[in-house]
């Protein structure tokens, strides 16, 4: 499993990117470099958190996703719908209205993604009784699992090897439809994703060979289609008042911050936003955190409500979901039809395989060689200015030093050292320009000059 390559949903549009470094500066795993004036993602380091996509001022980052028309390859088309999708809509729109519109758009069945969260919760509580290393960490967020593999490999054994609801729910509903007499090859299961990492985990699931999901639909795309239909209808249609099967208050809150932690035992903490998570995991790694039993870690601010593929404000989304959960609790209309047989089916396949450490930060697999290379990095840092300006195309001086040791860059990539080398006649000025062009592109400065000149002409 450790040799499996990560699939990445985040891509760079080279026609839009102009190498502004916003993405490089916010990347939590230093996975981005600027080459030839364009952002380049190191695939083995990227965790698909979407921070680059949020930071890009020209929308040069995009998510590679399945075409919506792919659903029509199947006779029975199932949408696995996260609660945050429902939270995009006003509280005046009933859940069943949303489901009805989705069926009009082409789905034959719609099921809440968190339908199996109760079963997952039971399995996680059982896991807490084992001798697994503490604090135990939820495997809910794919970006966090990959972050731990890449940046905190020593903590992979702390991850609870239990599948998130997307997998269990897909397995359950496939089984349900097949029991109704529908052929397996005629059933297509599609997850409506709020983020890039969920796309990546469907395409190359960590700890598993394959996913039970056939494809992923961009939540932003689907929301706009559903919203347009509802807006077109206006108030002319009578609102339905039916309970949505498998939609519970617990399930609605599961993907929000503290959704898992509030249902676990012992001392539990919920931490969202990936930089907050990194700061906390550094303390865990250094044994600065004691007596914590469970960690719910999410890459996005406000958890899935802050996913990069959501349209609405994340705080409004959280408020709407909680309001709907309270209303379901008060109405008593929750319908739960998961049979005992299906529960046993889910529990029998709820565990993921080995989650292997995949540290891409190490300088060499051989410890002795790695230590020598780290010593070289420290020596390099003595020469570099420590300003972390990013002008070399790396996010900071330490990253450049490591790139040099990996033979992916040179000391002369640093613009400050270029000037010093020119001053001491160790570097020809023309060669210095070629180095800059290799990082920022040949036309970078000339384009800026042309733009400035055109602007000056326009202002005359």
- The pLDDT value recorded for residue 44 is 84
314-332 pLDDT, tens digit per residue, is 999 999 999 999 988 888 7
Adjacency order of strands within the sheet including 294-298: 136-137, 294-298, 268-272
Give the bridge partners for 270, in sequence order: 296
Best mean pLDDT range from 45-49, 351-355, 444-448: 45-49
236-261 pLDDT, tens digit per residue, is 445 566 678 898 899 999 999 999 99
**Percentage of the chain exceeding pLDDT 90:** 65
115-164 pLDDT, tens digit per residue, is 999 999 999 999 999 988 899 999 999 999 999 999 999 999 999 999 89
- The pLDDT value recorded for residue 451 is 43
- The pLDDT value recorded for residue 460 is 43
Domains and CATH numbers, the chain: 10-63 (3.30.70.20), 68-122+158-266+303-348 (3.40.50), 367-459 (no CATH)
Length of the chain: 460
- The pLDDT value recorded for residue 445 is 65
- The pLDDT value recorded for residue 70 is 93
Q: Per-residue confidence at 447, pLDDT binned at 50, 70, 90? A: low
Query: What is the rounded distance in angstroms from the CA atom of residue 193 to the CA atom of residue 67?
Result: 13
* pLDDT exceeds cutoff 90 at 359: no
Q: Could you tell me which of 47, 57, 70, 65 has the C-alpha nearest to residue 20?
A: 57
Q: Which residues are CB-contacts of 416 (< 8 A; sequence separation ≥ 6)?
A: 384, 385, 387
Residue range 350-364: mean pLDDT, rounded: 81
Alpha helices in 213-337 (DSSP H): 219-233, 249-254, 274-285, 314-331
* pLDDT exceeds cutoff 80 at 110: yes
* pLDDT exceeds cutoff 50 at 203: yes
* pLDDT exceeds cutoff 80 at 77: yes
* pLDDT exceeds cutoff 80 at 293: yes
Q: Which two tokens stand for residue 347?
A: 């529990």
Query: What is the rounded distance in angstroms from the CA atom of residue 321 to the CA atom of residue 89?
Result: 9
Q: How far is residue 347 CA from its own chain's centroid?
A: 26
- The pLDDT value recorded for residue 459 is 45
Residue range 416-428: mean pLDDT, rounded: 88
* 215 three-class SS: strand
Output the CA torsion 440→8→308→66 (10° steps): 120
Residue range 359-382: mean pLDDT, rounded: 85
Q: Per-residue confidence at 210, pLDDT binned at 50, 70, 90? A: confident
Which single residue is written with the structure tokens 């609870």?
Answer: 160
* pLDDT exceeds cutoff 80 at 453: no
- The pLDDT value recorded for residue 140 is 94
- The pLDDT value recorded for residue 236 is 46
Read off the pTM: 0.88
Residue range 355-369: mean pLDDT, rounded: 80
Residue range 77-93: mean pLDDT, rounded: 94
Residue range 57-73: mean pLDDT, rounded: 92
DSSP 383-428: HS------TTSSSSHHHHHHHHHTTS--GGGSHHHHHHHHHTTSS-
Residue range 373-391: mean pLDDT, rounded: 91
Give the range among 2-11, 132-141, 280-289 with minimum mean pLDDT.
2-11
- The pLDDT value recorded for residue 335 is 67
Best mean pLDDT range from 200-204, 234-238, 268-272: 268-272
Q: Per-residue confidence at 452, pLDDT binned at 50, 70, 90? A: very low
Computed over every residue of the chain, the mean pLDDT equals 88
* pLDDT exceeds cutoff 80 at 6: no
Q: Per-residue confidence at 370, pLDDT binned at 50, 70, 90? A: confident
- The pLDDT value recorded for residue 66 is 86
Q: How far, in Å, are 27, 92, 441, 449 from residue 455 at the CA level?
A: 33, 49, 22, 10
Q: Which two tokens stand for residue 377?
A: 């990095």
* pLDDT exceeds cutoff 50 at 3: no
299-318 pLDDT, tens digit per residue, is 999 999 999 999 999 999 99
Q: Which two tokens stand for residue 146?
A: 């990959």
**Percentage of the chain exceeding pLDDT 70:** 91
- The pLDDT value recorded for residue 2 is 40
* pLDDT exceeds cutoff 80 at 219: yes
Alpha helices in 47-180 (DSSP H): 51-55, 83-86, 95-105, 117-128, 142-151, 165-179
């Amino acid at each position: 499993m450790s040799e499996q390559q990560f699939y990445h949903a985040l891509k760079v549009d080279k026609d839009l990117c102009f190498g502004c470094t916003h993405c490089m500066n916010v990347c939590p795993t230093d996975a981005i470099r600027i080459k030839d004036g364009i952002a380049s993602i190191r695939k083995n380091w990227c965790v698909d958190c979407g921070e680059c996509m949020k930071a890009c001022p020209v929308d040069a980052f995009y998510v590679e996703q399945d075409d919506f028309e792919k659903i029509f390859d199947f006779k029975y088309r199932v949408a696995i719908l996260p609660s945050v999708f429902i939270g995009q809509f006003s509280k005046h729109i009933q859940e069943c209205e949303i489901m009805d519109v989705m069926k009009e758009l082409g789905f034959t069945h719609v099921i809440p993604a968190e339908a199996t969260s109760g079963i997952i919760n039971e399995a996680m509580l059982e896991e807490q009784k084992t001798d697994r290393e503490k604090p135990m960490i939820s495997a809910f967020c794919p970006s966090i699992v990959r972050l731990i593999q890449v940046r905190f490999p020593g903590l992979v054994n702390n991850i609870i090897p239990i599948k998130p609801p997307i997998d269990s729910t897909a397995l359950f509903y496939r089984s349900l439809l097949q029991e109704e007499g529908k052929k397996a090859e005629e059933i297509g299961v599609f997850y409506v994703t709020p983020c890039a990492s969920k796309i990546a985990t469907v395409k190359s699931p960590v700890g598993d060979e394959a996913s039970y999901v056939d494809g992923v639909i961009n939540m932003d795309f689907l929301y706009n289609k559903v919203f347009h239909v509802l807006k077109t209808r206006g108030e002319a249609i009578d609102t339905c008042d039916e309970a949505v099967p498998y939609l519970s208050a617990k399930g609605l809150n599961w993907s929000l911050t503290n959704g898992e932690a509030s249902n676990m035992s012992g001392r539990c903490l919920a931490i969202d936003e990936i930089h907050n998570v990194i700061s906390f995991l550094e303390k865990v790694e250094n044994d600065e955190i004691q007596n914590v039993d469970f960690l719910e870690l999410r890459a996005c601010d406000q958890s899935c409500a802050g996913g990069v593929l959501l349209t609405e404000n994340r705080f409004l989304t959280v408020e709407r979901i909680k309001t709907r959960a309270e209303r379901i609790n008060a109405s008593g209309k929750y319908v739960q039809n998961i049979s005992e047989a299906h529960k046993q089916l889910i529990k029998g396949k709820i565990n993921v395989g080995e989650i292997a450490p995949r540290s891409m930060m190490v300088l060499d697999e051989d410890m002795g060689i790695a230590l020598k290379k780290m010593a070289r990095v420290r020596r390099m840092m003595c020469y570099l200015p420590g300003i972390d300006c990013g002008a070399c195309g790396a996010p900071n001086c330490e990253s450049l030093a490591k790139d040099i040791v990996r033979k992916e860059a040179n000391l002369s990539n640093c613009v400050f050292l270029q000037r010093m080398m020119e001053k001491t006649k160790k570097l020809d000025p023309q060669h210095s320009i070629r180095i800059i062009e290799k990082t920022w592109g040949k036309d970078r400065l000339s384009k800026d000059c042309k733009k400035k000149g055109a602007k000056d002409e326009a202002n005359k």
